[in-house]
Amino acid sequence: MRTALIVVDVQNDFCEGGSLAVAGGAAVAAAVSEHLEDHHGDYAAVAATQDWHVDPGTHFSDEPDYVDSWPVHCVAESRGAHVHPDLDTDWIQAWFRKGEHSAAYSAFEGLLAPDADVLMGDDEDVDDEPDVSLDDWLREHEIEAVDIVGLATDHCVRATALDAVEAGYDTRVLVDLTAGVAEESTERALRQMAEAGVEVVRS
């Protein structure tokens, strides 16, 4: 079975020192890098996502409820939106950005980030390139199963896993390569994923 690894939102703002930090975020970045070093050969494809906010409306708030509204985070092009330095990106083949103008939790809401190198020397305008979703990309690579890692377990990892199952992929969440915002919401998310058909893998 052809399997892809999806690395969700391992960005500075979601790690220690960031504006919406998850405890253990930097450790997840390092652990995912180690996993990729040891297991990249197990995957037919590797993709990653970035929260990439331009003007997401009520997703940002000065008085966030931490359910539907949040402090400002992962503003497009900002340091907070950049990938955490402990994540080794060498094995990542494609990046999907989500949430430019609205809230977006699932990787399946993201679109393939433009690759300037691809267009170098061409007359094509990047605006003329068709949008490519994560689902489009996975199907192009004939992927049947996905492993999901990253941040945060109880938000974007959960949403990505639920959408992956809904899209028909055999789906695993590698819990040791994730970190959640809070223990209670993380355990609730893991139960929800398992009930939906996600294989929740703990070492």
Active-site residue numbers?
9, 98, 156
The pair of structure tokens assigned to 127 is 């605006």
Total residues belonging to the chain: 203
3-state secondary structure of 155: helix
What are the residues whose beta carbons fall under 8 Å from the beta carbon of 8, sequence distance 6 or more? 48, 49, 107, 148, 149, 150, 151, 156, 157, 160
**How far is CA 124 from its chain centroid?**
29
Distance of CA 88 to the CA centre of its chain: 15
Q: What is the DSSP letter of 75?
A: B
